[in-house]
């Protein structure tokens, strides 16, 4: 039997949008009866066109937003039933890196604080141990030790994303949600960040939910893929399976476009 770190059943999330002038109400079905099993220690890809609900699903798993119905079992715990207080307690277990890390980082903090503060807070370590851990993490994400003193505005986009990764991994998460982590980066450094993620994944035990829409990247990174379309998971399977025998019309289109751009 496969050991799944995340098990989602019947998950629904609808957003209601009111247009300002006409007051017309629009329902957006961002998650529709989503069922998903993410095997422990896998590199799991979630692909789909813009607005298909990928980020929403990531946020639901992290309990950053509340579902309308359904269950999310994370490492044996139904997180949909936990209070906000209980969620805060288990939050270090799931971490996220976003598309625009710049906006996620406090511009007034130095790198050593950005990486060190969450560790200090969650792990209750003394300053010396935190500092040691910060330098170890900087080394792990291939940033030089002197960058500990830098502020975010002194770093390039790629370096900022490395800081974000170090910050997330410092808490030793069981699940890392990487929501389009290289989309906003210059094409020339995307490969470096992706390789770093693969390298880290080899050296540590954690599961990655990798959100994206570039099939080339998905193929390089992921073991398993799910395809989202208008809030629904329309197919799931090994990367090979999806590429060789796509069944849904959107996946077929994606795969055929991939051959054109080859």
Ligand X SMILES: Nc1ncnc2c1ncn2[C@@H]1O[C@H](COP(=O)(O)OP(=O)(O)OP(=O)(O)O)[C@@H](O)[C@H]1O
Which residues of the shown chain bind ligand X in the complex (CB under 6 A)?
Answer: 15, 17, 28, 30, 48, 50-56, 213
Please give the Cα distance from 200 to 211 (Å, whole number): 17
Nearer Cβ to ligand X (5/30): 30
Residue 251 binds what, of ligand X, Mg ion, none (CB under 5 to 8 Å, by partner type)?
Answer: none
Q: How far is the CB of 101 from ligand X (least distance, A)?
A: 15
Residue 206, Cβ neighbours under 10 Å: how many?
20
Q: Where on the chain is the footprint of Mg ion (CB under 5 A)?
A: 55
Nearer Cβ to ligand X (52/207): 52
Strand partners for 224? 44, 238
Burial of 219-239, coded b for 16+ CB within 10 Å and e otherwise, reads: eebbebbbbbbebbbbbbbeb
Nearer Cβ to ligand X (4/56): 56
Nearer Cβ to ligand X (60/148): 60
Strand partners for 121? none
- Give me the residue whose beta carbon is nearest to Mg ion: 55
Nearer Cβ to ligand X (68/139): 68
Task: Write the Ramachandran bin of 142: left for phi over 0, alpha for psi from -120 to 50, otherwise beta.
Answer: left
Terminal C-alpha separation, the chain: 37
Cα 254 to the center of its chain, rounded Å: 21
Residue 119 binds what, of ligand X, Mg ion, none (CB under 5 to 8 Å, by partner type)?
Answer: none
Burial of 137-151, coded b for 16+ CB within 10 Å and e otherwise, reads: bbebbebeeebbebe
């Amino acid at each position: 039997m496969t050991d799944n770190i995340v098990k989602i059943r019947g998950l629904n999330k609808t957003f209601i949008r009111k247009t300002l002038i006409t007051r017309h109400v629009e329902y957006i079905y961002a998650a529709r009866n989503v069922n998903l099993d993410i095997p422990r220690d896998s590199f799991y890809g979630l692909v789909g066109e813009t607005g298909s609900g990928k980020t929403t699903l990531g946020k639901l798993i992290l309990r950053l937003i509340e579902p309308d119905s359904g269950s999310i079992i994370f490492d044996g715990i139904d997180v949909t039933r936990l209070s906000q207080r209980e969620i805060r307690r288990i939050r270090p277990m799931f971490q996220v890196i976003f598309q625009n890390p710049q906006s996620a980082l406090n511009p007034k903090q130095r790198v050593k604080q950005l990486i060190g503060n969450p560790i200090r807070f969650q792990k209750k370590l003394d300053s010396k141990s935190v500092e040691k851990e910060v330098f170890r993490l900087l080394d792990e994400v291939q940033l030089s030790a002197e960058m500990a003193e830098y502020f975010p505005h002194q770093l390039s986009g790629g370096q900022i994303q490395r800081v974000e990764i170090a910050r997330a991994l410092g808490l030793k998460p069981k699940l890392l949600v990487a929501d389009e982590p290289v989309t906003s980066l210059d094409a020339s450094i995307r490969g470096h960040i992706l390789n770093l993620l693969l390298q880290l994944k080899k050296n540590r035990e954690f599961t990655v939910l990798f959100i994206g829409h570039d099939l080339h990247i998905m193929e390089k990174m992921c073991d398993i893929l799910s395809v989202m379309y208008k809030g629904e998971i329309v197919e799931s399977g090994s990367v090979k399976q999806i590429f060789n025998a796509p069944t849904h019309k959107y996946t077929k289109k994606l795969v055929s476009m991939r051959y054109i751009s080859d």
